[in-house]
Chains A and B, each alone.
Chain A
């Protein structure tokens, strides 16, 4: 008790109070300024969520080759596009389609370079509840008595659109329409499948390959003739940035292409 009374007396001394406040302010300012001033000039890359795991692998290599730091901002292509249009400070945009990068290169004079197709996605229908050696791991999956089949939103996600096109080509859209559940993007479709919320879903091969590298589960790699295009383009957003150009060159290198292919994409 004595010590508390003593503390109270001390705290009443005016300059001590002031010093406490000052110390607190100095601490706050230093914390904030560490954040602001110590930041190296990093490369900010906006990555479509379906390419995120592959992008991480690429960037791991890139950072070791060129010792530049890279910051990744991931999200759906539509959301990132809207953010870029509103002036988001990204240097590069790895989209999940070619439409939006092309729109950017047309509308804004800052983007002088043409978009580059860095990967071509491959659509799969994944039903991990079934083993892969089954004869049904093809379009027959669509006739299975599944309760729900998940699909990324066709309006916003290219893989969702490709899924709808496949269903349309095979004339299955009517029969499975009541089973369809829409995820915000392929990432959410993935989590719907993994948590058991749905029986099957349309995904990017890269996602399945990541989860099941030996393909033990039922994965139907959908033939490319069933959907139109899943090419994914990259575009430099800050044309003055030399590092952005450097990363773009890296993306076109043989080494990067091999990594992209082994992740489950095709390259041009």
Chain B
């Protein structure tokens, strides 16, 4: 049994690595972006918000198709990548990270934006008048106040990347240890009639996803109770 599970480790580890890296990048990038979105008064804000929400609506195949064209060695992004790194962007782990960042963007930006607009501008402005640096103000004011938003954003970003399939199928190339994530591996197992292995890996993913979400809802419930008690 252990041996059978061990042979699925590369795909599983790759999936978790992809989800972790993507979530990290998204949390860092989305913080200033979501803060700006929450407080800006520019008239084109709905346009930006609509663009951010696009991955929720668009079929993964549309994104995959565009990325395939952008990433190929003659494509807009692919050619720049080629000259800088001297390697191909398509079919690499980096390509999956870029794709996943776009794919999971709304799931991280929106909870943060909600959290930031609930806090309002005042706390940060007060901190500035008291002489806090931006970094200081972020860690001592904004982060503690929007803890719940960060938790939701992190979990949704992670979980959504974990469940990625269509785009990876189109731009990944199914290379072991590089782009063959668990969802792709399961798909191949089903197609090649290895139902036992498909059961094993699917079960693991199911368990991970469930306990991950369970932990979040527990935390949410407890913080809600706290709010009610105070």
Contact = CB atoms under 8 A, between A and B. Distances in A.
Contacts of A76: 191
Nearest to A182: B174
A268 B75 CA distance: 44
Interface in B147-187: 169-170, 173-175
A182 B175 contact: yes
A153 interface: yes
Given A147-B73, A182-B175, A78 B192 contact: yes
Interface string A126-162: 0000000000000000000001101001011000000
Contacts of A180: 175
A180 B73 CA distance: 16
A79 B175 CA distance: 20
Interface string A180-194: 111110001001100
Interface string A81-100: 11000000000000000000
Contact of A153 (B68, B74, B188): B188
A156 B192 contact: yes
A119 B23 CA distance: 49
Given A183-B173, A184-B174, A82 B191 contact: yes
Contact of B191 (A78, A181, A196, A197): A78
A197 to B, nearest CB: 4
Contacts of B73: 147, 196-197
Interface of A is mostly: mixed
A82 B170 CA distance: 21
A195 interface: yes
Given A182-B174, A182-B175, A195-B68, A147 B88 contact: yes
B74 A196 contact: yes
Contacts of A182: 173-175
Contact of A155 (B88, B90, B188): B188
A1 B174 CA distance: 62
B103 interface: no
A148 B88 contact: yes
B72 interface: yes
Nearest to A147: B88
Interface string A55-88: 0000000000000000000001011011000000
Given A181-B175, A192-B173, 8 more contacts: A148-B91, A153-B191, A180-B175, A181-B90, A195-B72, A196-B75, A197-B68, A197-B90
12 contacts: A78-B192, A153-B188, A155-B188, A155-B191, A155-B192, A181-B174, A182-B174, A184-B174, A188-B170, A191-B68, A197-B73, A197-B90
Interface of A: 76, 78-79, 81-82, 147-148, 150, 153, 155-156, 180-184, 188, 191-192, 195-197
